[in-house]
Copies of this chain bind each other. A is one copy, B any other.
Amino acid sequence: MTEPKSYKWFLDFLNPEEGHMHGIRTMLYSTQTKFQQMEIMETGSYGRCLVLDGKMQSSEADEFIYHEALVHPTLLTHPGPKRVFIVGGGEGATLREILRHRSVEHVLMVDIDQEVVERCKQYLPEWHQGAFDDPRVDLKFLDARKYLEETNDTYDVIIIDISEPVEEGPAYLLYTKEFYQIVNRRLTPQGMITLQAGSTAVNSLFCFASVCQTLKTAFPIVAPYETSIPSFGLPWGFAVASKGIDPQSVSPREIDERIAKRIAGNLRYYHGEIHQGQFLLPKHLRQRLASEERIIEDNQPLFTYH
């Protein structure tokens, strides 16, 4: 066997009978915010990590996979995104990836937890890389759903970058049919959205499948995709949804050309090949997505780990 060398461990329980163990080198920050328990820790395998309510959010070593996979499929598919809205996105790395797009003129990021954002700014500079100071950015600490309900503004792309829907957590009303309808109304005619949608592990597909099914009640195009963020301990699902544009209609070569033209700096995870590849799903995942009937509603919300 491999002999463990750590005596301090973060146990990220994926369900009551499974977890991923991270040896802790140092705890950098720990607090209870108004909304959640927050920790920034240095782990042996993934460097610095943001942990909220005991769940890994992103790590120094592989946050580039998560954030590139979340942002670029949508922004590169859209013909010319100017106005982008982020629901959540506390670490500032979603913002960072959006701002690489030269077409983007304005980003509004609405995160409910000011303390998380401020601590990430301080302790995780490689995540935001100064993004919060970009003049194109507007940052508000509000309930994003309420904000979207009340505003008349519209956006080309809305990116939902929030933690999972746990019972006590701040996020569960951001996974419902009603919320996706609100989001739809805040999109421009060619508008698109993208979101993370939970694990795609073979035995815990209920979240991913029902989120995709629920998206279909609000959007004609729903394109689920999958990637591996190793620090999460399980393969992970995402989805693009749109009023009409299909991300799978853009060829790998076209993606590579758009990257060259539209994006500043170098991507590490994303390129034309993976744009195509990540929408190609295994048969069992296709079948589960096709057969799912659950629609998540405000009065029948989804909670993971049930």
Q: Report A14-30 residues with CB < 8 Å from chain B CB.
A: 14-27, 30
**Chain B residues near A271 (CB, 8 Å)?**
282-283, 286
CB of A154 within 8 Å of the partner chain = no
Q: Which residue of B lies closest to A42 (CB)?
A: B30
- Segment with Cβ contacts to B, from A99-107, A128-136, A200-208, A211-219: A200-208
**Chain B residues near A279 (CB, 8 Å)?**
277
**Chain B residues near A276 (CB, 8 Å)?**
277, 280
Q: What's the Cα separation between A233 and B3 when bound, in Å?
A: 17
Q: What's the Cα separation between A276 and B8 when bound, in Å?
A: 39
Q: What's the Cα separation between A286 and B202 when bound, in Å?
A: 26
> Given contacts A202-B61, A202-B65, A230-B235, is CB(A17)–CB(B3) below 8 Å?
no
Q: What's the Cα separation between A54 and B3 when bound, in Å?
A: 10
**Chain B residues near A30 (CB, 8 Å)?**
26-27
The answer to whether B44 and A24 touch across the interface, beta carbons within 8 angstroms, is no
Q: Which 5 A-B pairs have the closest CB atoms?
A: A17-B44, A277-B280, A17-B23, A1-B54, A27-B27
Interface residues of A (CB under 8 A from B): 1-27, 30, 39, 41, 43-46, 53-55, 61-62, 64-65, 199-204, 226-228, 230, 233-235, 267-271, 273-274, 276-284, 286, 305
